Amino acid sequence: MAIEKRAFGRTGHHSSAVIFGGAALARSDESTADRVLELLFEYDVNHIDTAARYGESERLVGRWMDRHRKRFFLATKTGDRDYQGARDSIRRSLERLRTDHVDLIQLHALYHPDEWDRAMGPGGALEACIEAREQGLVRHIGVTGHGWTVAAMHRRSLERFDFDSILLPWNWFAAQHQTYAPDFEKTVALAQSRNVAVQTIKGVARGPWAAGAERGRTTWYQPLEAMDDIRPAVHWVLSRPGIFLLSVGDVGVLPLVLKAASEPVVPPKAAFMAQLSARTGLSSIFGL
């Protein structure tokens, strides 16, 4: 069953409500990537999000673009903060992705105030993104980030520049956070008033890996793994109109997330989510 399509902000594109997070391919090989592509076709996922920092991801996604470029809204990120570094990064990404343009370039993990000043100031990465848009190398510009301060930082970014998209964490645990939850709501309200696409991450995050625990997944956090837990976590995010969920950074968990998203979304009740949180031990992956 195809995953629902939603208007991706002002871009004119209707993207699958679950966007494929290319971080899952960071340490993958070509045969694994080919199986992932079959999954994306099966669930009609038409939006891919990758990044220059994601290991082999851009190269592996690039193998798909020779034949399937028109099928996907293609997004990547630059983690450079200066103009020249970002300019070079964008061009390397285009080479690795085997395309003459990406639909969205994003300033990657921009939440530290010092890095924000560099990227947004004179000679910063934002200037390289704007130049790339003027040259037709990118169509839209976004900003992403992690951590409990990122929602507030994204508001600052939207006040500085008219971004086309933002990306930030959102899940049941985050919605209970005393400061992050109201910051998230303010940021989403501002973004939606400007028709800026809102992408969310960590929808199936369970918590940090326990010290010394064997990490059976490629995610830097411990994800939920049982379908009975993943389904309500995914449906809780997707039951909110107009926002998107990036899939998960592990190819083994990916099929469960896509299957859950393809089913009719039934908004879980708060009491059920509270019970799920207590049973699975949902906790902060960003510290306090």
SS (H, E, C) 77-133: EECCCEHHHHHHHHHHHHHHHCCCCEEEEEECCCCCHHHHHHHHCCCEHHHHHHHHH
C-alpha 130/C-alpha 226 separation (Å) is 43
8 Å CB contact between 93 and 101? no
C-alpha 146/C-alpha 156 separation (Å) is 15
The residue-averaged pLDDT of 260-286 equals 97
Strand-pair partners of 243: 198
What letter does residue 144 receive in the DSSP assignment?
A: E
C-alpha 162/C-alpha 60 separation (Å) is 31
User: Percentage of the chain surpassing pLDDT 90?
Assistant: 97
255-270 as b/e: b if 16+ CB within 10 A: bbbbbbbbeebeebee
Per-residue pLDDT at 273 exceeds 80: yes
For domain 5-280, give the CATH number: 3.20.20.100
Q: According to the model, what pLDDT value does residue 109 have?
A: 98
Q: According to the model, what pLDDT value does residue 213 have?
A: 80
The residue-averaged pLDDT of 74-84 equals 98
Q: According to the model, what pLDDT value does residue 287 have?
A: 86
Q: Can you tell me which residue has the tokens 């085997």? A: 98
Tens of pLDDT, residue by residue over 151-207, are 999 999 999 999 999 999 999 999 999 999 999 999 999 999 999 999 999 999 999
Tens of pLDDT, residue by residue over 95-153, are 999 999 999 999 999 999 999 999 999 999 999 999 999 999 999 999 999 999 999 99
Q: According to the model, what pLDDT value does residue 79 have?
A: 98
For residues 235, 240, 245 and 247, what is the CA-based torsion angle, rounded to 10 degrees?
Answer: 0
The residue-averaged pLDDT of 24-48 equals 98
Q: According to the model, what pLDDT value does residue 1 have?
A: 80
Maximum separation of any 2 CA atoms in the chain, in Å: 52
Q: According to the model, what pLDDT value does residue 212 have?
A: 83
pTM: 0.98
C-alpha 226/C-alpha 210 separation (Å) is 18
Q: Helices marked H in 135-226 — which ranges?
A: 150-160, 172-175, 180-193
Per-residue pLDDT at 241 exceeds 90: yes
Host H or E run for residue 167: strand 165-169
Cα angle, residue 128 at apex, residues 125 and 133 outer, rounded to 5°? 130
Tens of pLDDT, residue by residue over 245-261, are 999 999 999 999 999 99
Q: How far is CA 248 from CA 31, 185, 186, 220, in A?
A: 19, 23, 25, 11
**Domain extent listing, the chain:** 5-280
